[in-house]
């Protein structure tokens, strides 16, 4: 589990680094365009194909680890903890099935785009973007691993009735 946490922390740190790089890249483009009348070639393509993809999908494992996804408790807040854990386990199984299919399809697309060396046209040529196609399935794969672990723990808690409180739950994840 510690190795998975390190991967999730590393991917989140990389996404934070991409925020800084993107900020510097876009600022340099604005300066070049405003003062020198020569924008940096491919800024829009690099920002949308690399930086934004990394920002959106690299931290998804860390968000899953923290159970930071949106949960609506309108109809479940009154349920006993054991039944709530059973419902969480069921939701985890459904999520895992969806994310698993999603990862599978994304890997197929990434392989296909790698084989054709996908590139986007910019003002002066082409910018290869196929490497960014691997970020999304990697992020969702790490998310799926966390969902699997949490689903297993939720199912075990629902079956045994041993439900850790919030502080203990976070310690177990560490």
DSSP-assigned beta bridge partners for residue 127:
120
Cα gap 171→139, rounded to integer Å: 23
Secondary structure of residue 126 in the 3-state scheme: strand
Between the alpha carbon of residue 102 and those of residues 75, 88, 89, 153, the distances in Å are 28, 20, 19, 23
Cα gap 140→21, rounded to integer Å: 23
DSSP-assigned beta bridge partners for residue 121:
126
- What's the pLDDT score for residue 4? 87
Distance of CA 79 to the CA centre of its chain: 30
Ordered per-residue pLDDT tens for the chain, 174 residues: 788 899 999 999 999 999 999 999 999 999 999 999 999 989 999 999 999 999 999 999 999 998 887 777 777 778 888 999 999 999 999 999 999 999 999 999 999 999 999 999 888 889 999 999 999 999 999 999 999 999 999 999 999 988 776 544 444 454
Secondary structure of residue 78 in the 3-state scheme: coil
- What's the pLDDT score for residue 87? 92
Cα gap 117→174, rounded to integer Å: 40
Cα gap 100→144, rounded to integer Å: 7
């Amino acid at each position: 589990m510690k190795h998975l946490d390190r991967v999730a922390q590393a991917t989140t740190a990389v996404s934070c680094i991409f925020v800084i790089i993107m900020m510097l890249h876009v600022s340099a483009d604005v300066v070049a365009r405003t003062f020198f009348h020569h924008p940096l070639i491919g800024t829009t393509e690099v920002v949308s194909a690399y930086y934004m993809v990394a920002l959106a999908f690299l931290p998804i494992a860390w968000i899953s680890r923290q159970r930071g996804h949106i949960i609506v408790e309108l109809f479940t807040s009154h349920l006993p903890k054991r039944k709530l854990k059973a419902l969480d386990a069921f939701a985890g199984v459904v999520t895992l099935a969806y994310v698993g299919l999603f990862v599978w399809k994304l890997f197929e697309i990434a392989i296909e785009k790698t084989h054709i060396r996908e590139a986007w046209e910019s003002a002066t040529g082409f910018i290869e973007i196929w490497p960014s196609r691997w970020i999304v399935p990697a992020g969702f794969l790490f998310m799926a691993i966390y969902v699997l672990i949490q689903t297993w723990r939720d199912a075990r808690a629902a079956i045994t009735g041993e439900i850790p409180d919030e502080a203990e739950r976070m310690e177990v994840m560490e």
